Structure 1
Amino acid sequence: LPTISPSRPEAFVPYIYSYDELHNLFQAAKNVSYAKTLYAGDLHIILLLIYSTGLRISELISLNRRDVDLTE
């Protein structure tokens, strides 16, 4: 049998956005007037929600109003 081991994939190194990049992203999202099915301002709220909670896109998409309790 061959003694050659398969090479390991390189470790994933996540990209960390700088403050300026995040600021520019949120500002650009605020200025979007309409993008297909999103209403003005929705993209900004979506990005803030994902950024502040760590939600995955699939979790965000499956959210319903009954999943959110604004009194807590």
Structure 2
Amino acid sequence: MPAPWTTRMANALRRAPGDAREIERWNPRLRCAEEAPFTPHHRRMPVRRHRALHRLMHAVPALRNLHREFRFTF
């Protein structure tokens, strides 16, 4: 039986928006100004393990686009 927090985390990730258009539907005033992968910031990470993991994720296209940053205007 999994720990209760793992179930909550999995549910939260399933509800995460897939793209900016989904977030724009939540509030019509929002407009996506930019969408970018999260991994290019690996050079600024202070913890070496995290930096290595993000560098690896950035090298694999499927993983690079797994986490995205959205910037909105309204």
TM-score (structure 2 length as normaliser): 0.28
**Greater Rg over alpha carbons, structure:** 1
Identify the structure with the greater strand proportion.
Answer: 2
Identify the structure with the greater helix proportion.
Answer: 2
More contact order relative to length (CA 8 Å, sep ≥ 6)? 2
